[in-house]
Amino acid sequence: MDFTRIDKLKNKLKSLRPLNETELKRLREEFMIENTYNSNAIEGNTLTLRETALILQHGITIEGKHIREHLEAIGHKDAFYYMIELADAEHPLTERDIKELHSLVLMHDAKNKGIYRTVEVAIVGAVHDLTLPYLIQEQLEALLSEYEDMKRGRHVIEAVAEFHLRFEGIHPFIDGNGRTGRLIMNLELMKEGLLPVNIKFTDRKKYYDCFDSCYSEVRATEPLTQMIIAYEEEEILRYIKKLS
């Protein structure tokens, strides 16, 4: 797989003047709102992009929308900014990071936030079985350990794609796995000097197909890798345009 173009764009972005604090804050807020909308919409939240912006920027309550949907937007916003703090710290991904991100994502559910599920679950239409509850701790620890090996001799986007696919296959929490997993994906991209990516609600079928490709007999991770590359290029070009 050829990562030449994405690496060239990354280097070009690094060569440009850095964003000042105001510019960076504005771009991150724009991305955070769109990312919150898309990530929650993929999981069934019915807030529109405009409604999400009104809640997050102005604290407005949307008539006719469930309080849970409001809290999902606020929780994702808090988790997004915590993800940036973790990226700045640049330490290896830990189980604690994952649980803390999940606790923010699932702020509306005090009983389950940051807690591994204790019941069996299944995803309707999925081609694979999810990890049994008593194996979650063991498999997640193994994945974190193996992730360090995945990053050696491979492009970070390949490693991040594989980690995400396997994390979602473990499905450690009763709810919030997708949103947490996508935040982890962006955390790891940012640690390597890349930009966070925004998987669009309109691309959800293509995104779900990536899991079918991974958990079928083919065991392919390339479809998600290519998807991340395309989104990463889109984000870098957006930043370059602002700075040129």
Write out the catalytic residue numbers. Answer: 171
> Rounded distance, CA 166 to CA 140, Å?
9
Q: Of the candidates 109, 108, 163, which has an alpha carbon nearest to the alpha carbon of residue 140? A: 163
Stretch (H or E) spanning 83: helix 67-89
| The one-letter amino acid at 130 | L
User: Is the Cα torsion angle 120, 176, 152, 137 positive or negative in sign?
Assistant: negative
Q: What six digits make up the tokens of 143?
A: 């994945």
Contact present, 161 and 1 (Cβ < 8 Å): no
| The one-letter amino acid at 233 | E
R_g (Cα) of the chain, nearest Å: 18
Report residue 89 CA to chain centroid gap: 18
Phi, psi dihedrals of residue 67, rounded to the nearest 5°: -60, -30
DSSP E strands, the chain = none
